[in-house]
Amino acid sequence: MMGKLLFHPPKLGPRMLNYRGNIDDALGKLQALIDAAADVPPSQVDQKIKKIEKLAEIIEKKGLKTKIMHSLKKAGKRKKGS
């Protein structure tokens, strides 16, 4: 993709009276455009993946808790029967 990008200098100031000041200003504006374009918000797919991973972690913790409770209940029965 080819094209031209034209930057208009701000009103005359102390920096804009020389060639180097104009170049520095143009490069700063170009960097700001690149930074703005590079800042992409996370997509909905990424958010859904994170939500699913979080739910899976919660389910795993609940399952482990149930397993531990069942094990403790069985251990209690064994001690009483001895």
Residue-wise pLDDT tens digits, 33-59: 998 888 767 777 788 889 999 999 998
Which residue would you say has higher pLDDT here, 6 or 10? Answer: 6
Say whether pLDDT at 72 is over 60: yes
Q: What is the pLDDT of residue 46?
A: 85
Question: Average pLDDT, whole number, for the chain?
Answer: 81
In angstroms, rounded to a whole number, what is the distance separating the alpha carbons of residues 79 and 50? 44
∠ CA 35-16-34, rounded to 5°? 10
At residue 45, the pLDDT reads 79
